Structure 1
């Protein structure tokens, strides 16, 4: 799937790529509505009906990923709520073996995530994956989400990678579309970002269920 002899830089997403997206799906679809309902004296169904259009309106924007934004908008301490269920944060199968192999290679490995720094810190504390990366970049540091062309330009300016020998592995099709538009040559998606949901059918990009598929030649 990847000719590793052609790759000098590896860009890795976090949620849904290295980490099980089940944590975030449960958090936003169930745990936040539960606490919003308690705060407002609503049923959970009524809370979900109020929250769904709010969430939908921010998809693809930096605010969607910003814990400070949602804490203010919902009058809930989102970072504290995430910490409450941090035991559910999990690494996807064979990710650590893949990262160990990458670490032994000469390639530059950069975590590029839309996650807010508070969420990023919590997840690194829980998983201890941070030592595998040469750098960790949050879109909140850049001021633009990965869906935006400006993110990739800023990343290239700071990380100094060449499009033709860089691979991005990301579960978000919108992010992969953006990276393709920018010119990143090697793109891989994740067919099972949430361990509790069925595999997704992805036709636009090569897709893996777990990282064993990428270890050949590494």
Structure 2
């Protein structure tokens, strides 16, 4: 990964799930816990639960609905926020993410969280991990009505916080979102090589990949 030229960066935009937080919590919830609880609460087999859930997941992937707890609660007739609390002990920071956040904040950079997570999901995580003090703003794409994959999200973000994309760093674990940011003109982009600590590293394709937050601190001061 090439060293960052921090003198060219004023604003640091950060994703949450898979970037600052270990994606294991979300993967476990949606792929293991939710199908099991769906089966129990609807009186079907686990295999049938997965058969019913999979086409719904595929249909909504990448849309705002995909990230919306209200949508899934209504669609599945389940209390999704309450179910997420059942596995909240799995919510965890990625190694040294807090060290990075503190250093960037102390260096005087603007630090803004931009997440596709629903506000209810965000609140569940902030109750477990003290992220809020590091950020100037905590922005959910639900505030704007568009996911980060959509160009309209970036227009809304620009109107909201008035940042210079040419002098901004954005870190995210989703390649489609990084491509959306690049199309908007965000100049400094990093993917995350291993967003889920229980799964292996991923191919981040055309994007430089973050392995260790401490490596980003060189030249920051």
**TM-score normalised by length of structure 2:** 0.97
Structure-to-structure mapping, 1:1-218, within 5 angstroms? 1-218=3-220
- Say whether the 8 Å CA contact 1:163–1:183 is kept in structure 2: yes
SS in 2 for 1:156: helix
Q: Which runs of 5+ in 2 are unaligned?
A: none
Query: How far is the alpha carbon of 1:46 from its aligned partner?
Result: 1.6
Question: How far apart, in 1, do the equivalents of 2:113 and 2:168 lie?
Answer: 13
Q: Name the stretch that deviates more: 63-72 or 36-45.
A: 36-45
Question: How far apart, in 1, do the equivalents of 2:48 and 2:164 lie?
Answer: 49
Query: How far is the alpha carbon of 1:162 from its aligned partner?
Result: 0.7
**TM-score normalised by length of structure 1:** 0.98
Q: Which runs of 5+ in 1 are unaligned?
A: none
**Number of aligned residue pairs:** 218
- Say whether the 8 Å CA contact 1:199–1:209 is kept in structure 2: no
Question: How far apart, in 2, do the equivalents of 1:123 and 1:96 lie?
Answer: 14
- Say whether the 8 Å CA contact 1:20–1:91 is kept in structure 2: yes
Cα deviation code 1:122-177 (max 9, x no counterpart): 11110011000000100000100000000001101111111110010000101001
